[in-house]
Structure 1
Amino acid sequence: MSILKKALLLPPVLIAIAITMASAQNTKPPQAATDVKEKATPVKVIGVKAVTAVPFVSGYGKVQPDRTWDAVAQVAGPVVWTADKLRSGLLIPAGTSLLKIDEREYQLSLAQIDAQIEALNAKDETTKASLKIEERASLLLQDDLDRKKQLMAKGSASQAIVDTAERASLTQDAKVQTLVSTLKLNAAERKVLLQQKEIAALDLERTELKAPFDVRLNTVDISLGQYVNKGQQLFSGDGISVAEVVAQFPIGALSSLFNKPGETGSPLASLEAGSDGTSDRHDAIKAKVVLRTPRNDIVWDAKLDRVTAAMDPKTRTRGIVLTVSDPYGQATPGQRPPLVRDTAVEVILQGQPKKDKIAIPASAIRKGTVMVVDAEKRLHFKPVKVAYIQGDIAVLASGLEPNEKLVVSDLPAPVDGMLVGPKPDKALLERVMAEASGKAASKGTK
């Protein structure tokens, strides 16, 4: 039996299976790809640059006048005159008369003392005239006593006559001494009256109140015709020549400003040592006071003056006092306001420039390392040492060189050696450079 005949005798199901197996044997699987292309992970980078870094730190505080004037009545009496300028908010030049208390009582006291002194002078004149007479009489009685003593020595006079003459001489000496004592008492009384006159003249002068320095009036608690008592506060004012700002700073934040390279210890130690204004570190720090407004930032040049006596135990901060000279003279109506009491301002302290420093975003540092991209676009980790952190940037002491490409993207699972696709972030680099060089802190209108 031929093969064809045998095949025709097979059931149809078996024929279908045989055909399928033959087709499977003749079909070859596709060749697997042996070369898989590595995919680069896109990352943002900045080409680090050397910059002259200007360390700065900012704090906040309120403006206070460097000196205040609380006008207190030094004498009692009714107010008989007040100046038109005696109103809250007005600027008063030094020496301006603002208020007068009725001076008649003090004028009368002064006149009474003058009369007492005049009477005492007249008494002195009569006493001196009497003293001359009594001194002459004393000399005559002394001569008479001497003659009688001589006569008694010759036997021509008795002891009783001599005793009588001696008693008369002593009585006359007593009169002279009384007049001398009267003149001394008059001199002492005159001294007391002259002191009382000075006090009365001072009280008379105190009936008029004048501005001791250029001030801006705050509260006015007095009016015309009101009776004031000695020690009563009448009004108050703030000095306008110098404004002070007490800004709070964390102690550690000042290290980059006050400590020299390689220097350790509290940054405030050197600052406090120069609180008398003699420290060169005061002059080495540039200070600015900034008023933030919706339109722009207004900046005043300031001077580092001193450190407050105590630390705030809650915030662990220390107050640094800055002064701004002529805050009212620098004002421009409609553009630049004066620095008035209780104005909330920002204070920026700038240290000495540090050349050839590398500044990078602080967020690029993770556990003391950063990610860089090499020439073959491979990612690597590098340890860095931070000199100081300033806002959102970190200024490095070591670890990176200029022109290295620093990864600033936040990679979820970075692996050393992985292929990346770097994309420069020029805007971020400009912000880092501006903040590191202090330009960001110097913006504003002067």
Structure 2
Amino acid sequence: MTLRRKLLFFPALAIGALVLFMAITLRPDIPVKPAQSKARSVDVITLKQQDIAPKVTGFGRVTPKLTWQAIAEVNGKVIYRNPALQKGQVLPAGTELLRIDPTDYQLAVAQAQADVSAKEARLAKLDLDDTNLQATLAIEIRRLTLSRDELTRQKNLRKKGLTSQSDLDSEQQAFLSQQARVQDLQSQIKVLPDEKRITQAELDVSRLALEQAERNLEKTQIVLPVDSRIAEVNIEQDQVVTPQQVMVVAHGLEAVEVDAQVSIHDMQTVFDTLVDATGNGFEQKIHQLDASVALSSGSFTREWGANVARISDTVNLNQATVGVILEIALSDKKHAGIAAMPTLVNGMFVKASISGQPVSHWVIPEQALRGDKIYVMEEGELVVLPVTIVFRSGNHVAIDGALKQGQQIVINDLLPAVPGMTLEAVTVDGENVDQSGIEQSRVDENSMEQSRVGEKATEDDV
């Protein structure tokens, strides 16, 4: 019995060897997996020079370009106050805001007019007297001539003894009287121009007094000169005002200004791009700058175009900033002609952006910059290059350094970034690279994985 069991071992061994031989013979060939590449996939862009304008950012508060103050120039009681005269109210030009009691000034105007009329009448009377005196003088001169002739005749008769001495004396007295009359008229006519000049001067003074009285009367009405927003009211009806008292403060609606504080270094970078094409110096160059201001509050964001009006006269020593004064025109109008309520009002804190003229520079996106270095792919390997940042403009950076046209700049953040490591470009300038070889490798890898699964199942069956 024991010998029989031992003889059964050999047939079982032969069957096992046959099954193993068949399994080895019939199994599929194992595909050879190619060596997997260790290159890091990266996105690259082609380096080239572009025209880019430096753009700097500053912050400042909105102030009205025009601030109008209603300062009392006369004194008196306020007898009228516009019901719409309230802080924050928008009023059109020509609106009467206040009226001061004009009675005293109307009386002064009437008195001045009466004085002017009196001086004009006196001047007219002097002109008439001049005419009358001239006519009278001509008559009296003729009479003097006749009296002289008569005196001469009387003297001749006296010499001949044909008249008495008393007649000669009477004629002599008449001649002297007529001569005195003519001299008196000539004296009156001589001083008459001086009297006219004096009266004319007095008339001029009276007319000036009338104009002053009329101006004072006009000053009793306070009228808004431009479309404005009322900012401050310091007067009430029936209150007595005195000269130099500030009654109302209003802000014009046509334009506002922003004193934006900008870094001195950044502003110098912007100024360096300007060209003095006009030959008129710095004041004309700053008008080449482009500017805008933006207001953000919660989900509300709005932007306005601005003009660089001037540079502030002071520098902030604590922050090393210079003030750039921007002017923003607010042209929105209501259908009735009154300026609409602007979004930019006094005191708002806004962001200002100022751009210079475009200049050719090496330009890369902000995401490609690694501090003061950039990653460059040369012949499939990583090269780290130091660069100098010239300026920023939005999401782009102008740089300088040992750069060449056409270099491939890596925009991915490689961790770790080892110089000389192997790189493989997946996208170039935003366009995908041909991935057919990569896809085929993935297919082969999947096939090999499936073969491994089949081989494992066969071994389990055995």
Of residues 210, 222, 229, the one that matches 1:197 is 210
Q: How many Å separate the matches in 1 of 2:308 and 2:82?
A: 38
**Matching residue of 1:434:** none
Counterpart mapping for 1:249-328 below 5 A? 249-260=262-273, 273-275=281-283, 278-279=284-285, 282=287, 284-326=288-330
Please say if 1:232 is aligned against 2:245.
yes
Does the CA-based 8 Å contact 2:75-2:241 persist in structure 1?
yes
Q: How many Å separate the matches in 2 of 1:255 and 1:132?
A: 80
Q: Which runs of 5+ in 2 are unaligned?
A: 1-34, 157-167, 335-340, 431-462
**Matching residue of 2:75:** 76
Change (3 A) 1:151 1:313: farther
Q: How many Å separate the matches in 2 of 1:271 and 1:314?
A: 35
Q: How many Å separate the matches in 1 of 2:208 and 2:180?
A: 42
Change (3 A) 1:166 1:424: farther
Q: How many Å separate the matches in 2 of 1:129 and 1:423?
A: 111
Tell me the amino acid that sits aligned with residue 391 of structure 2: Y
Does the CA-based 8 Å contact 2:78-2:101 persist in structure 1?
yes
Deviations 1:325-348 (A, max 9, x none): 116549xxxxx9610011100001
Change (3 A) 1:270 1:129: closer
**Matching residue of 1:248:** 261
**Matching residue of 1:58:** 57
Does the CA-based 8 Å contact 2:55-2:270 persist in structure 1?
yes
Q: Which runs of 5+ in 1 are unaligned?
A: 1-36, 331-335, 430-446
Does the CA-based 8 Å contact 1:272-1:307 persist in structure 2?
no
Q: How many Å separate the matches in 2 of 1:41 and 1:380?
A: 14
Deviations 1:240-284 (A, max 9, x none): 0111111111222134433239x8xxx9x9999353xx54x62x4
Change (3 A) 1:372 1:40: farther
Q: Secondary structure at the match of 1:173?
A: helix
Q: How many Å separate the matches in 2 of 1:204 and 1:425?
A: 81
Counterpart mapping for 1:364-383 below 5 A? 364=369, 369-376=373-380, 378-383=381-386
Change (3 A) 1:345 1:123: same
1:370, distance to aligned residue in structure 2 (A):
3.5
Please say if 1:342 is aligned against 2:355.
no
**Matching residue of 2:160:** none
Change (3 A) 1:364 1:175: closer
Deviations 1:100-142 (A, max 9, x none): 1111111111111222233334444554554444444433333
1:227, distance to aligned residue in structure 2 (A):
0.9
1:211, distance to aligned residue in structure 2 (A):
0.8
Deviates more, 1:313-322 or 1:50-59: 50-59
Tell me the amino acid that sits aligned with residue 187 of structure 1: Q
Deviations 1:382-408 (A, max 9, x none): 354544345786312451544614376
Q: How many Å separate the matches in 2 of 1:55 and 1:424?
A: 31
Tell me the amino acid that sits aligned with residue 232 of structure 1: Q
Change (3 A) 1:270 1:364: farther
Q: How many Å separate the matches in 2 of 1:409 and 1:85?
A: 63
Q: How many Å separate the matches in 2 of 1:329 and 1:408?
A: 50
1:287, distance to aligned residue in structure 2 (A):
1.4
1:317, distance to aligned residue in structure 2 (A):
2.1
**Matching residue of 2:20:** none
Of residues 176, 186, 189, the one that matches 2:199 is 186
**Matching residue of 2:454:** none
Of residues 395, 399, 403, the one that matches 2:398 is 395
Q: How many Å separate the matches in 2 of 1:180 and 1:380?
A: 104
What is the TM-score when the length of structure 2 is the normalising length? 0.68
Does the CA-based 8 Å contact 1:79-1:102 persist in structure 2?
yes
Q: How many Å separate the matches in 1 of 2:150 and 2:113?
A: 56
Q: How many Å separate the matches in 2 of 1:304 and 1:52?
A: 22
Does the CA-based 8 Å contact 1:243-1:327 persist in structure 2?
no
**Matching residue of 2:24:** none
Change (3 A) 1:255 1:42: farther
Q: Secondary structure at the match of 1:106?
A: helix
1:288, distance to aligned residue in structure 2 (A):
1.2
1:86, distance to aligned residue in structure 2 (A):
0.8
Q: How many Å separate the matches in 1 of 2:398 and 2:120?
A: 85
Q: How many Å separate the matches in 2 of 1:101 and 1:315?
A: 49
* Structure with larger Rg: 2
Deviations 1:396-434 (A, max 9, x none): 24515446143764767x6643x35679799xx9xxxxx
Q: How many Å separate the matches in 1 of 2:127 and 2:375?
A: 107
Q: Secondary structure at the match of 2:74?
A: coil
Tell me the amino acid that sits aligned with residue 183 of structure 2: L
**Matching residue of 2:10:** none
**Matching residue of 1:24:** none
**Matching residue of 1:171:** 184
Does the CA-based 8 Å contact 2:54-2:392 persist in structure 1?
no
Q: How many Å separate the matches in 1 of 2:71 and 2:323?
A: 31
Q: How many Å separate the matches in 1 of 2:427 and 2:43?
A: 6
Does the CA-based 8 Å contact 2:72-2:245 persist in structure 1?
yes
Deviates more, 1:62-71 or 1:352-361: 352-361
Q: How many Å separate the matches in 1 of 2:122 and 2:371?
A: 99
Q: Report the number of matched residues.
A: 375
1:371, distance to aligned residue in structure 2 (A):
3.6
1:232, distance to aligned residue in structure 2 (A):
1.3
**Matching residue of 2:219:** 206
**Matching residue of 1:16:** none
Does the CA-based 8 Å contact 1:372-1:380 persist in structure 2?
yes
Please say if 1:351 is aligned against 2:345.
no
Counterpart mapping for 1:75-224 below 5 A? 75-150=74-149, 155-156=155-156, 161=173, 163-224=176-237
CA RMSD of aligned residues (A): 4.0
Change (3 A) 1:249 1:347: same
1:220, distance to aligned residue in structure 2 (A):
0.2
